[in-house]
Amino acid sequence: MQPTAAIVVIGDEILNGRTADKNINWLAKVLYDRGIKLAEARVIGDDENLIITTVQHLSASHDMVFTSGGIGPTHDDITTVTIAKAFGVPVIRHPEADQRLIDHYRDTGLDYNEARQKMADTPQGAELIDNPVSAAPGYIIGNVYVLPGVPSILQAMVENMGDQLPGGTKAHRLTVQTEVGEGTLASGLAKVEADHPGVSVGSYPWFKPGAYGTALVVSGLDQDAVQNAAEALVALVAEFGGTAYIDDKVVGGNTPA
């Protein structure tokens, strides 16, 4: 009902702090909306063996894997070569990708040189992912979706994928807000989760000047079960004399002063 996914962000520039990753959070939201459960996300460097072993492991462990980074024109863009090795296939100059880039650079005054031609290379058997921004495509091989690292281009490509990106059953999610601290509520949270099979309860403390509290996030595939668990959390908060809010509405407990 809900396929699982993993994200692999590839790039030394992420690990050394030069560039801040913006792709994991954005992709996580897209996958959630499509009913795909993001099970894990990793950031790794431009290391051939590490990319190969990571992709092989995650491809075998999840229904789909999304990589970002390393498919540009420079010498350190090694993702395509390593993905091909992970699947045991050669790298080819993809005819359709090549033509798209020829058309893109025509009349631009820019040379479609050897470096830019590299962006038309894919593992043999890969299916192209359109790039509506800069023409250089991503691709799908097996259950691995290979995307660029530039956030604006990655986002445009994913939004343009349509049926190339499958979906599942979207989880339901409610947030119970309270000014009761999570240390006070902690002993009752596990019981609420145990009493509502198929529902997960996450606890996230928050702080602001003069106040603190807890956001209790309830999620699951069954809407009624999620609602029931949220109401149980409201009752738990009330036991400690607190006020609970679901989606910013006061629904139980004491009336705020």
Model's pTM, two decimal places? 0.89
Distance from C-alpha of 71 to C-alpha of 3, rounded to nearest angstrom: 26
Domain ranges of the chain: 4-164, 172-253
> Predicted confidence band at 252 (pLDDT cuts at 50, 70, 90)?
low
Structure token digits, residue 6: 């993993």
Nearest alpha carbon to residue 199 among 178, 169, 173? 173
According to the model, what pLDDT value does residue 256 have? 42
**Is the alpha carbon torsion for 122, 38, 165, 25 positive or negative?**
negative
Distance from C-alpha of 226 to C-alpha of 193, rounded to nearest angstrom: 10
Alpha helices in 62-94 (DSSP H): 79-87
Largest Cα span, the chain: 71
Which has more confidence, 96 or 187? 96
> Predicted confidence band at 245 (pLDDT cuts at 50, 70, 90)?
confident
pLDDT tens string 133-182: 999 999 999 999 999 999 999 999 999 999 999 999 999 999 999 999 99
According to the model, what pLDDT value does residue 1 have? 82
Question: Per CATH, which fold does 4-164 belong to?
Answer: Molybdenum Cofactor Biosythetic Enzyme; Chain A (3.40.980)
pLDDT tens string 69-126: 999 999 999 999 999 999 999 999 999 999 999 999 999 999 999 999 999 999 999 9
Distance from C-alpha of 205 to C-alpha of 154, rounded to nearest angstrom: 32
Architecture of domain 172-253: 2-Layer Sandwich (3.30)
What is the three-class DSSP state of 177?
Answer: strand
Average pLDDT of the residues of the chain: 94
pLDDT tens string 14-23: 999 999 999 9
According to the model, what pLDDT value does residue 197 have? 96
CA count, 13 A, side-chain hemisphere, 66? 30
Phi-psi category of residue 162: left, alpha or beta, with phi > 0 → left and psi -120 to 50 → alpha:
left
What is the three-class DSSP state of 242?
Answer: coil
Distance from C-alpha of 142 to C-alpha of 257, rounded to nearest angstrom: 58
According to the model, what pLDDT value does residue 247 have? 79
